[in-house]
Each structure stands twice: as structure tokens, then as C-alpha cells.
Amino acid sequence: MSVRNVGIIGIGSYTPPKVVTNSDLEKMVDTSDEWIVTRTGIKERRIAESDVATSDLSFEAAKMALASANLSPKDIDLIIVATVTPDMLFPATACILQDKLGAECPGFDLSAGCSGLIYALSVGAQFVANGTYNNVLVVGAEVLSKITDWQDRSTCVLFGDGASAIVLGPVERGGFRSFVLGADGSGGKLLELPAGGSRLPASYETVSQRLHYIKMNGREVFKFAVKIMGEAALEAIEKAGLTPSDIDLFIPHQANIRIIESAAERLKLSMDRVFINLDRYGNTSSASVGIALHEALLSGRIREGNRVVMVGFGAGLTWGACVLEW
């Protein structure tokens, strides 16, 4: 059986209209704009309204991606939604999205933290490469504001809401050249949402102890990210038979400017070859890389034939990277 080249044939993204600035956060917790910008690079983030769920953001991004691919919902063969903030534990947000779109295809969710989109692209690409499906809709979407503790100044300054959607399909030239995925479950406790699952089901105690919010050991996650982002990107580049000098644009997970700068230094890439938008959106988890890819394309930073490296890291602990020829 021949293996087909797989590329991106459509892309879209969506962020809620509501903007929360660092100045707004100064009124909520003991923090400052200078402190947030210096340590993270974030200036503002988008926050969904109380009645908006992950499937709603996904729907907006998916409509844009389908229009970009000149496809109708009926043309989609599979939907994969990468998220840590599903509408509910079940049914899968992918199935809710399928119904919203009017698609007629299988769908499932994938949970790999902020690495989720890279994981989902890797899985989706295999269905297209082996000929099982032609058009796979991959969505990375989060409403992190719903699981953020707005009383915890160490985490509430970091996160935002958003969605990205990518249509994968067979292409004659270019496409994905490599994928690298990894996980280290021994670091799971460093970044978690403790309650709400079968280990700690919702109870008066879990709610009163604020265990339904993100808990993060920031120092240890930072150390992990600084090490793994550069390593994963380099491994993906080498797996594609390339060197860092062959890369036209580096699109990292938008979590922290210092982590991004460290990865760029590891790859010996000047910052003008790195795409950054975390100053406007903060960390949108699995939506992050896709939103950045879409904005890079819209702003003319990516042209036909360009080689792009995307890399993410997140809860699990997980990491993922890929090389894409546009």
C-alpha cells in the first residue's frame, strides 16, 4: 500500500471578543503589568463569556477552515478535537461539533495538554497517509478560563481561550515531513486538574478545596519546557533530514517568552524566524500553535515551499513537534 503525502488544505482560528488586560488582572489579584510582561511576555488574553463552551469556539474555527479548504461539512471524513476543556466528560466534544457543523463522520477527542494539536495532527495525518480518509478536521480548542483559579495569581495571568482548526488532506508536493511525540508520566503531578474524574469525583470537599482548577508547579514546568522544546524541535528537524538553517519559520507553543527564546537559542534561530503572538492571547493550550500558524499565514510569514517547525509541550507531561513544508 502506497503512503500519500499529507498536508494542510484548510485552516481557521477563532478567539472570543472579550479582552482581559494585565491592568484588569491588577484589580483582581496581587500582580502588576510589569511583573507579568517581564516573566511571561503576556499583555492580554481573550476570555469567553460564561455561556460559551469549547464546542462553540471550535465551530467558529472549523467553519473558517472548511471555507479555506473549499469543502462542505459533508466532505469531512473524521473529526479530532484536542482539548483539556471538553464541553463535558461525554459525549466527546468532537461529536458535539459534528452535530453543530452538520457533518456525517466519526469523531473523537484527544487529551494531551498543550501538546494536543501536534498529537492530533499526527494521528489525523496517518488516516490520510494510509488512504483510510481523505479529509480530516483537526481542532485544538480550549476554554481555559472555566478551569482557571482567578484567585491564584501564579496561574490566572497565564491562560486564555481560543480555537484553531486544520483540514488535513492528500497533497502532491510538500506536506508533513516528520512528527515527534513524547511523554513522561512521572511529571504528571506538576501540571494537573486534580478533581472531577474517577480519582476525585466532584464533592463538597473538592469544590471547597478548589481542586477543580489548574494546579501547576511553575518552576518545574518551566525547567521541563526549556529543555524539551528545543530538543523536540531539533529531533523533528533531524528526522526530516534537515538542519535548523533549513527552517524558515519556528512556531512554538505560546506559553512563555523566555521558554521560546531559549528554544530559539538552542536551534540557533534568530527571533525574526520565530512567530510570537502570546502577548495578545496568552497560553491557549491546544489552540495555541494552530492560532499562531493561521496568523503567520495571514500575515505573509509563510509562503509556498517554506519549511515550518511547530512544537508544543504540556500536561502529561507531553511534548510534540513536526516539520511541515507549505
Active site residues: 114, 253, 283
CB 41 within 8 A of CB 274: no
CB 5 within 8 A of CB 16: no
Q: Is 239 exposed, middle or buried (0-12, 13-18, 19+ CB in 10 A)?
A: middle
CB 164 within 8 A of CB 220: no
DSSP designation for 5 = P
Distance CA 248, CA 314 (A): 25
- Share of the chain residues as helix, strand and coil, in percent rounded to the nearest 5: 40, 25, 35
φ and ψ at 258, to 5 degrees?
Answer: -70, -35
Q: Where are the alpha helices (DSSP H) in 82-217?
A: 93-101, 116-129, 153-156, 204-208
Extract the C-alpha cell encoding 289.
500553535
Query: What value does the CA radius of gyration of the chain take, rounded to a whole number of Å?
Result: 19
86 vs 20, 55, 207, CA distance in Å?
A: 22, 8, 19
Distance CA 134, CA 146 (A): 35
